[in-house]
Chain A
């Protein structure tokens, strides 16, 4: 019965019909997708949504399994040591693949050797937000103010080594300013202090800041994306503000353990691409202002390698201690 159903589903996936027919020996059982974060978060719920479409395109169930811990690196370690048969894949990000090697001691994986990139998912820019009564309203004004008052502007961090922390380091570095860093345990308490005016500025994802910007509790100075964001049409990009080096986005994609047969990686990539182009996924990404990224293959491995080098330099320059 089950086999019958899965055959039907495979037939239904139009995009895949050809490649599925070529390699019918894969996949013959459910795929486990390790999401290295706690269940229920935005990352997790989004993965579950994609997993649904991904499974339809593959003609096999894709089971999301959460293995959180140590900033997501525990989940990556688990997959690095899994069988490279294509049945175990992982959600990899800027944080775990580009930044983690410079942030953690005894990391038991190599971002490039232990993982084969399958397909990118997307990229989310940061918004630079400020307390509503601060004397600056654009990135330029902020930089000018911070240069006059070195070390006085406080910037909230949602945690040492998080994507938003790295974006703020990048910004300070590019602008040549000194900010007083105030670390928090996650973005919620940080925003609470920002709204109350105990904190001056913060970097955070549009999905967390939009409501507060709309209500006027905080103002948005700029965005770190290459182009302006639809939800914040008046916020200039870093390039517009004369800081092209501060352009960044937190990217994510799916990866298989190193040594997974290339033809299986191809099958997975085709199905994942189909899932990313489905209406349900497009909708979900639009809601949180994340950009869908259709990158795969060599282009993707080159990108991941470049990102790792870039962040290694930034983290070293920022003097963040390894843990």
Chain B
């Protein structure tokens, strides 16, 4: 009954007026920060952190955590309505969310997103409460060979993300990998492909790339197409039109279950993060779907899987952060910094020394997720009205926010230049029908794959067998091999059959 006692203690902390208020402020601000393109949780939390200095440690953490997962909820809004990933995590939401909006189903897409986010978040919280210690052990057992094997699987998934020609998909993954090489080499400290520019020493920012490839290019495409002149269709935001039908619930329930599990597992691993969780859940969904051709054209299952996964991962990321004191991402590192300011030493002992903080925070996640659900459903009606703003007013505003978001990440004008360059590149890619998603995933996974491959070899003193002797890594690599083999097998059989058909 330990768990029950812990939860009761948690809720007794989290339902205090001050914590409820902190939670409400956190998730509300988070939602709005998430909606703004390019301004993610990281910027939001660092700007608002000074506000929490006067609060108790628990209230401060509740509020800052609320900004974090709130922004992941909010990030989907701009992705669905404008094809603009408000944060990296919602890049996957663009794939099917935006086509749904183009079909006039913006309300439904937003409602589905909110519900899926809620379900994914809740699943991860349950997991966190019941299995935190064994999960920590899993996260700990992930060394460089395991991370490398995971990125191999991820890269395979990346090349299947796209529509149409697999060759184009693979080519774009490679372009992403190449862009990922830009910057300082972790192993040697040598600058690569920076062309003497010291601004590029830290590499190309994923947010900048995503905003350029998706957001800016979308605006350019619309300027040159006839869509610009046509009148908009009105979006039905009545309850009946938005709430998923029985059939849609049935179609998405499997996706949400898979998304929750995948998101939670990936979220626990330090360094993997919510964006990768969403990418992988989406490509798994496309693989198991009987109608994979619908993906990218407004498949509600793809949207549901990505949203459950990224929110599950966002919550699960707190497991290593709080129980090990090891932050999995920059945002988590910030939250640990906030703990330090309040004089609490993050680390494995936090659960024992400050149980009210730990369990109170977890209980607040429930409350926060519930608040987000209540907050976001009525807001849909307001958000979709954004689409009624004429393009000639809306687009300059969006471009302004994109540039602002790009600049604010590190107060460096070169990022504005880069976002425009990537926008033009994205425009060219759209004309050539080259998919942008695999490129994005290549940039995320490439540097990870290289880093862990080289470190694994360094630690094994150059013995490449380490990837096969470690059980988890061997299992992941075997899965990758099976996927490749089955893809080749099925395409060979198809070709054989096609040949037989023409012969007959």
* A23-43 with Cβ < 8 A to chain B: 38-42
The answer to whether residues A45 and B186 also contact, given A210-B347, A211-B325 and a CB cut-off of 8 A, is no
Residues on B with C-beta less than 8 A from A215 are 347-349
Residues on A with C-beta less than 8 A from B50 are 48
By the criterion CB–CB under 8 Å, are B326 and A188 in contact? yes
By the criterion CB–CB under 8 Å, are A45 and B49 in contact? yes
Instruction: Say yes or no for A307: interface residue by CB 8 A criterion.
Output: no
> Which of B191-199, B240-248, B435-443 is the contact stretch?
B191-199
Neighbour of B201 across the interface among A41, A42, A69, A189, CB < 8 A: A69
Instruction: Say yes or no for B292: interface residue by CB 8 A criterion.
Output: no
By the criterion CB–CB under 8 Å, are B43 and A106 in contact? no
Residues on A with C-beta less than 8 A from B340 are 42, 207, 287-288
* B64-112 with Cβ < 8 A to chain A: none
The answer for the CA separation of A217 and B325 in the assembled complex, in Å, is 11
Q: Using an 8 Å CB-CB cutoff, how does the interface string of B39-51 with A read, 1 for contact, 0 for none? A: 0001101110110
The answer to whether residues A323 and B191 also contact, given A185-B451, A188-B326 and a CB cut-off of 8 A, is yes
Distance in Å: Cβ of B434 to nearest Cβ of chain A? 30
The answer to whether residues A74 and B141 also contact, given A183-B187, A215-B349 and a CB cut-off of 8 A, is no
By the criterion CB–CB under 8 Å, are B184 and A196 in contact? no
What is the interface residue range for chain B against chain A?
Answer: 35 or more
The answer for the CA separation of A108 and B198 in the assembled complex, in Å, is 10
Distance in Å: Cβ of A48 to nearest Cβ of chain B? 6
The answer for the CA separation of A160 and B454 in the assembled complex, in Å, is 15
Residues on B with C-beta less than 8 A from A269 are none
By the criterion CB–CB under 8 Å, are A39 and B330 in contact? no
By the criterion CB–CB under 8 Å, are B333 and A41 in contact? yes
> Which of A60-68, A142-150, A296-304 is the contact stretch?
A60-68
The answer to whether residues A69 and B325 also contact, given A106-B198, A211-B346 and a CB cut-off of 8 A, is no
Distance in Å: Cβ of B135 to nearest Cβ of chain A? 14
Neighbour of A211 across the interface among B189, B190, B345, CB < 8 A: B345
Residues on B with C-beta less than 8 A from A320 are 189
Residues on A with C-beta less than 8 A from B144 are 193, 198
The answer to whether residues A67 and B411 also contact, given A39-B47, A215-B348, A323-B201 and a CB cut-off of 8 A, is yes
Neighbour of B324 across the interface among A41, A45, A192, A199, CB < 8 A: A192
Instruction: Say yes or no for A3: interface residue by CB 8 A criterion.
Output: no
Neighbour of A323 across the interface among B189, B333, B411, CB < 8 A: B189
* B117-167 with Cβ < 8 A to chain A: 140-141, 143-144
Instruction: Say yes or no for B459: interface residue by CB 8 A criterion.
Output: yes
Neighbour of B411 across the interface among A41, A66, A103, CB < 8 A: A66
Residues on B with C-beta less than 8 A from A41 are 333-334, 337
By the criterion CB–CB under 8 Å, are A189 and B271 in contact? yes
Instruction: Say yes or no for A212: interface residue by CB 8 A criterion.
Output: yes
The answer for the CA separation of A65 and B201 in the assembled complex, in Å, is 20
Instruction: Say yes or no for A125: interface residue by CB 8 A criterion.
Output: no
* B305-333 with Cβ < 8 A to chain A: 320, 324-328, 330, 333
Distance in Å: Cβ of A75 to nearest Cβ of chain B? 9
Residues on B with C-beta less than 8 A from A122 are none
By the criterion CB–CB under 8 Å, are A39 and B43 in contact? yes
Q: Closest residue to B448 on the A side, CB-wise?
A: A185
Instruction: Say yes or no for A184: interface residue by CB 8 A criterion.
Output: yes
Neighbour of B347 across the interface among A40, A48, A211, CB < 8 A: A211
The answer for the CA separation of A274 and B483 in the assembled complex, in Å, is 65
Residues on A with C-beta less than 8 A from B350 are 211
Residues on A with C-beta less than 8 A from B46 are 38-40, 44
The answer for the CA separation of A71 and B74 in the assembled complex, in Å, is 32
By the criterion CB–CB under 8 Å, are A70 and B410 in contact? no
* B269-290 with Cβ < 8 A to chain A: 270-271
Q: Using an 8 Å CB-CB cutoff, how does the interface string of A288-311 with B read, 1 for contact, 0 for none? A: 100000000000000000000000
Residues on A with C-beta less than 8 A from B328 are 188
Instruction: Say yes or no for B224: interface residue by CB 8 A criterion.
Output: no
The answer for the CA separation of A312 and B427 in the assembled complex, in Å, is 47
The answer to whether residues A159 and B186 also contact, given A210-B345, A215-B349 and a CB cut-off of 8 A, is yes
By the criterion CB–CB under 8 Å, are B411 and A160 in contact? no
Instruction: Say yes or no for B188: interface residue by CB 8 A criterion.
Output: yes
The answer for the CA separation of A73 and B199 in the assembled complex, in Å, is 10
Q: Using an 8 Å CB-CB cutoff, how does the interface string of A216-237 with B read, 1 for contact, 0 for none? A: 0100000000000000000000
Instruction: Say yes or no for B341: interface residue by CB 8 A criterion.
Output: yes
Instruction: Say yes or no for B293: interface residue by CB 8 A criterion.
Output: no
The answer to whether residues A198 and B189 also contact, given A40-B49, A70-B201, A211-B348 and a CB cut-off of 8 A, is no
Name B residues whose Cβ lies closer than 8 Å to a Cβ of A.
42-43, 45-47, 49-50, 140-141, 143-144, 184, 186-191, 196, 198-199, 201-202, 270-271, 320, 324-328, 330, 333-334, 337-338, 340-341, 343, 345-350, 410-412, 451, 455, 458-459
11 CB contacts below 8 A, A to B, read A40-B46, A45-B49, A45-B338, A68-B410, A70-B198, A73-B198, A74-B412, A159-B186, A195-B140, A196-B141, A321-B188
Known pairs A45-B49, A73-B198; list 17 more (Cβ under 8 Å): A38-B410, A40-B334, A67-B410, A67-B411, A68-B202, A74-B198, A106-B196, A154-B459, A183-B189, A185-B186, A188-B270, A191-B326, A195-B326, A196-B141, A211-B350, A214-B347, A284-B341
